Structure 1
Amino acid sequence: MSIRARKRSWLSLVAVGALVASVTAAGPAAADPNNNSPKKLTKAVTVEGVMEHLTALQAVSDANGGDRAAGRSGYAASVDYVVDRLTDAGYTPTVQAFEFPYFEENSELQQLTPTPITYVNNRDFNRNGFVPTFIGEATGVVTPVDVVLPPPPTPNSNSSGCTAADFAGFPAGNIALLQRGTCGFNVKALNAQAANASAVILFNEGQPGRTGLVTPVGDTPGLAIPVVFATFETGNALAAPGPRTARVKVDFLAETRTAWNVFAESDEGNPNNVVMAGAHLDSVQDGPGINDNGTGSAAILEVAEQMAKVKTNSKVRFAWWGAEEEGLLGSEYYIANLSQAEQDKIALYLNFDMVGSPNHFFGIYDGDNSGGTAPPGFIPPGSAQIEDVFEKFYADRGLPKDDTEFSGRSDYGPFIAVDIPAGGLFTGAEGVKTAEQASRYGGTAGLAYDPCYHQPCDDIDNLNLFALDVNADAIATAVITFAFDTSTVNGVRAPGKSHGAGNSEHVGEAS
């Protein structure tokens, strides 16, 4: 649908801040219709232009609680920003709304005394999965109940909290600290409640393989106290000698919300031979998501602006996906709602998810499976030829490059699932840079490519500007190359002219 009417209603709901307003008002530099070659387009595409967009996305996050996650106000404001910039550049952007299961975890575990400690959700503890689950909180003295420390050598031999007798003399209102083993988690929790505990902290037993997090499950009729599960390390610390007080909170929200995909298409080009380039626009709930994936979103926005007047041979479609962090939901919805005929018109898809990691490497999706990590038949034919374009780009600049696994674990996954050739770039997430990579790329061996991956510190300072600058040019090069000639991928060079190479079954009849 047309974006203009809807976008105004979004803007009335979300205050994006003065910085975003000023950036939007400034608008893009006038696009040149002669940006029609890799050399011309890469000169027009600048890291300053990409950073202008990233600065705006940081301001969006700052004005909306510190994130840009799907289903929240920061994502709606991010959509508004992209739509405004595309409109100013001369596109007629469209949005595609879709509903998705929104989940927000607000559970907490804190030690209040003797030393305040705030434990990290999904690292040190997690909420239970009981049916029903009680939502509430309690503060009290932590009382270990029949725990065995150090743990017994045999797993599943600890009976902490399994019988009412374990709670003999338990002080009413205290928080029961229970250890995994012998009986069901639900049995332990209900026994603690019967002993008038105000909350329960269940922790893992401690043998090898039983130290991390699991999710307690089971039927808990009448459960009326908050229950969390903790790692062995956390539980062991809470069981240390001396009085300790803690706060246990179980709180979460689960409902259906709306997110949006944003699209912009070139005016020119064969509509039966579509070159797509996309990036996910949403962040996780725990941070602004400037590297993940503001970088990909900002880079393709800069490329789209600079290509706005270019008369391409193929139709070029740019996409900003919603709810990728919830499981590729936006791109999955898009592909699922395309007819087979419309799917067949897509010559190829280029994906850009994290292209400015601070401790970067230059990763190219391994379209020819030279690394042998993809199973037979997983990679659509034509993907190797996309990889070739990126490899030539880095080689021409005398820059190192690496294959990165062609796994389908970003928004190209739904495309390759329907046999559309794909490729893309990746500068690294939580993986650790090797010494060999550090010798070629610089940076720090033994440190994550992005130490702030999915964290609040993934902000405007969490970037490598050299990597971002290079990759913005790599993106521009690939998009403009295929905008004029997809023959290596599917046999189509110009509107209506098939050259017989590649997988022509992906291309509809020329108009």
Structure 2
Amino acid sequence: MTNRVRLKSATHVRSASLSTAAALLLASPAFAGVGVDTSALNDAVTAEGVYAHLEVFQQIADDNGGNREASSEGFFASIDYVAREMTLAGYQVSVQLFPYVVFENRTPPELDQIAPVAASYEFNGDEGFATATYSGAGETTAIAEPVDVTVPAAADANSSTSGCEESDFAGFTAGNIALVQRGTCSFFIKAANAEAAGASGVMIFNEGQEGRTDVVGATLGEAGVGIPVIGISHALGASFVETETTLRLKVDAITEERVSGNILADTPIGKPEKTLVVGAHLDSVDVGPGINDNGSGSAALLEIALQMSNLGMLDSEETGVRNRVRFAWWGAEEAGLLGSEYYVYNLEDSQFEQIAANLNFDMVGSPNYARFVYDGDGSASEQAGPEGSAFIEWLFNDYFMDQGLAAAPTAFDGRSDYGPFIENGIPAGGLFTGAEDVKTEEEAAIFGGVAGEAYDACYHDECDTLENINMQGLGEMSDAAAYAINVLAVNDLPTPAAKLLGRKLSVANTAITLDHSGEFLKK
């Protein structure tokens, strides 16, 4: 392999010994910058400094019911802490509040067959049932009564009108459970018509054509139906059509609007038309304090930002930040990337066009960690990032190679806050130390740790506390993050290419569904 060189020239000149591949990347439209001395910031950012912020997040959780869930007092206390620290450090800070709707099964829903034979059906099982989002709550034991169904299914998909007209329920026995079929009209219309006819519950079974046989994952689209509504498979629904069946159906659910927020903190200097958005989600799941997921990424960004201020990088574009850096702490990531979606989709066109790139740091202190870099060029996964993402991947890998540390690619699988950025054509990249997946023998040989165990056995659990942090991994990943932020902040980046074509402009009005334990199902 040809020689590489770190970007450490105080005169902002990159060494001529740069590898051919790297030189080609730097000459590409993705990057027009030159070298920069990164040693001061990397020396200033330490694992101990990052850990000090994690101690604050842990204390906040301890003082607020044990978690920092996106709408909780613990979350807003976390916002207060980060916003105060960033304001005192000289950043221009704002908090972007946004509403979201949560549909929650407070206890496990139940579906049991009483007659002609006893049977029980599994919630979210392949042959079981699923609660319809925005379902009403209640419990009923009654006969499942078919309503204008077509069994066997018609040849053409999306042709059944079962339950779509009030007249379909002429002669319906009030108190029975309405059995309706997926088809031409919305699930809400079917359920509302059933409720108006006196049904005590609704079961929506799949239509039956190819691709329309599994359990229906229905959403009613909005609140307004007051009786239990579930989705089932075509086979199960057809069996209830063929044989009169008495069922017990119970749904204990609520639908409510909540509020979360994003912290946006801008450097006071730097070209706004070349904005680097650097993000980490600040919320936890509601079962624990979320110190690794994602206190670790949040704390790393906070410490990097504070040290940039301490080093005078916010004082002059000649010696410090040349491109505006927007540090972002996203809310409601655990509810389905809601904070980052809200931010990206609600930018004005002129603001959207200013974003040059996004860096994302979600879990950088996993106890059984690996050093994962998002696969910007798509060489190891199905999806490459937008143009420019390959360079970001190279930048992280170049740093790790210079440190004598191995790194491996991880896919843009849509599970973190880079999602809305790459979905809208913005180059992205970042770091990850692993979640619930199991470390392989090969990875253990490369990164250390224990093969056959999860990277983070406390992922989305109450044990994701300070004791769940690997200090060595936290330090390595925080340094890599500081390096990449430094390089992209002070180099003369190209003006972002136009990205408006096909841009998403609003967040769909869909509910976020939790299971009975409070765990969000979408992530």
8 Å CA contact 2:298, 2:329 repeated in 1: no
| Matched ranges for 1:370-409 at <5 A | 370-371=379-380, 373-374=382-383, 379-381=386-388, 383-406=389-412
Following the alignment from structure 1 to structure 2, what is the Cα–Cα distance between the partners of residues 270 and 262? Answer: 16
Which protein has the bigger helix share?
1
Cα 1:178–1:351 change in 2 (3 A) is same
Is 1:94 paired with 2:92? Answer: yes
Q: CA deviation at 1:254?
A: 4.0
Q: 1:103 aligns with which of 82, 101, 104?
A: 101
Letter in 2 for 1:249: D
Is 1:424 paired with 2:430? Answer: yes
Unaligned runs of 5+ in 2: 1-35, 113-117, 238-245, 314-318, 498-523
Cα 1:424–1:173 change in 2 (3 A) is same
Q: 1:214 aligns with which of 195, 213, 217?
A: 217
Cα 1:355–1:118 change in 2 (3 A) is farther
Structure 2 match to 1:480: 486
Structure 2 match to 1:53: 53
8 Å CA contact 1:67, 1:74 repeated in 2: yes
Q: CA deviation at 1:280?
A: 2.6
- TM-score, normalized by length of structure 1? 0.63
Aligned residues: 432
RMSD: 5.4
Q: CA deviation at 1:187?
A: 9.0
Structure 2 match to 1:138: 138
Following the alignment from structure 1 to structure 2, what is the Cα–Cα distance between the partners of residues 246 and 63? Answer: 39
| Matched ranges for 1:37-436 at <5 A | 38-64=38-64, 67-87=67-87, 90-98=88-96, 100-108=98-106, 109-111=108-110, 125-128=130-133, 135=136, 137-141=137-141, 176=177, 198-200=200-202, 210-215=213-218, 224-229=226-231, 247-254=250-257, 257=259, 259-265=261-267, 276-283=277-284, 288-312=289-313, 313-315=319-321, 317-323=325-331, 324=333, 325-326=337-338, 328-332=340-344, 335-336=347-348, 338-339=350-351, 343=354, 348-371=357-380, 373-374=382-383, 379-381=386-388, 383-406=389-412, 410-412=416-418, 421-429=427-435, 433-436=439-442
Q: 1:440 aligns with which of 440, 446, 455?
A: 446
Cα 1:404–1:224 change in 2 (3 A) is closer
Following the alignment from structure 1 to structure 2, what is the Cα–Cα distance between the partners of residues 66 and 214? Answer: 32
Q: CA deviation at 1:370?
A: 3.1
Per-residue CA deviations over 1:430-469 (Å, capped at 9, x if unaligned) read: 5555453344335566666556655666555554444323
- TM-score, normalized by length of structure 2? 0.61
Letter in 2 for 1:427: T
Per-residue CA deviations over 1:337-370 (Å, capped at 9, x if unaligned) read: 6548x82xx6654321222334543221233443
Cα 1:404–1:234 change in 2 (3 A) is farther
Q: Secondary structure at the match of 2:310?
A: coil
Cα 1:112–1:482 change in 2 (3 A) is closer
8 Å CA contact 2:121, 2:129 repeated in 1: no
Letter in 2 for 1:371: A
Following the alignment from structure 2 to structure 1, what is the Cα–Cα distance between the partners of residues 111 and 408? Answer: 48
8 Å CA contact 1:83, 1:93 repeated in 2: no
Following the alignment from structure 1 to structure 2, what is the Cα–Cα distance between the partners of residues 419 and 183? Answer: 34
Following the alignment from structure 1 to structure 2, what is the Cα–Cα distance between the partners of residues 51 and 38? Answer: 22
Q: Which has the higher contact order (CA 8 A, sep 6+)?
A: 2
Q: Secondary structure at the match of 2:386?
A: coil
Structure 1 match to 2:504: none
Unaligned runs of 5+ in 1: 1-35, 236-242, 491-502, 507-511
8 Å CA contact 1:266, 1:308 repeated in 2: no
Letter in 1 for 2:409: D
Q: Secondary structure at the match of 2:102?
A: strand
Q: CA deviation at 1:152?
A: 9.8
Between 1:408-417 and 1:93-102, the stretch displaced more is 408-417
Q: CA deviation at 1:299?
A: 0.7
Following the alignment from structure 1 to structure 2, what is the Cα–Cα distance between the partners of residues 387 and 331? Answer: 24
Q: Secondary structure at the match of 1:319?
A: strand
Following the alignment from structure 1 to structure 2, what is the Cα–Cα distance between the partners of residues 182 and 270? Answer: 53
8 Å CA contact 1:110, 1:118 repeated in 2: no
Following the alignment from structure 1 to structure 2, what is the Cα–Cα distance between the partners of residues 285 and 226? Answer: 25
Letter in 2 for 1:91: A
Cα 1:328–1:275 change in 2 (3 A) is closer
Following the alignment from structure 2 to structure 1, what is the Cα–Cα distance between the partners of residues 81 and 221? Answer: 45
Letter in 1 for 2:411: E
8 Å CA contact 1:111, 1:244 repeated in 2: no
8 Å CA contact 1:289, 1:459 repeated in 2: yes
Q: CA deviation at 1:258?
A: 6.3
